Amino acid sequence: MTAVAYAVLSVAAMLFLIRLVLGPSVPDRVIALDGLLVTVMCGVLVLAADQRSPIGIDTVLVVALLGFIATGVLARYVERRGG
């Protein structure tokens, strides 16, 4: 089960990377980075479920906070500077 979850998350990360490289404007890239952070969070959660130990759960908490702060800062940047 965890192997399937890993595979699906890898494909999702690749799709977000495609949007990160292609993305015509800055907000597109911000969306792709946000999605990549969520993918990393879910990957660490799947790792913890795989190992059956709470390793990395605190990392997930930190990454979630960091993703929110990064999105806010980048939104300010987009508004100030434009695309």
Partner 1 sequence: MDLLGGIALVLGSIFILLAGVGAVRFPDVYSRLHTAAKAPTLGVLLVGVGAVASIRTFQATVAVALVVALQFIAGPVGSHMLGRSVYRSLAPPLDGPDQLAERDDRHDVDRHDDDTDGR
Which residues here bind partner 1, judged by CB under 8 A? Answer: 1-2, 4-5, 8-9, 11-16, 18-19, 25, 27-28, 30-32, 34-35, 38-39, 41-42, 45-46, 48-50, 52-54, 57-58, 60-61, 64-65, 67-68, 71-72, 74-76, 78-83
* Largest interatomic CA distance in the chain: 46
Please state the closest distance from residue 50 (CB atom) to partner 1, in A: 8
Q: How far apart are CA 17 and CA 37, in angstroms?
A: 11
Dihedral angle, C-alpha 48, 61, 76, 18, nearest 10 °: 0
Please state the closest distance from residue 62 (CB atom) to partner 1, in A: 10
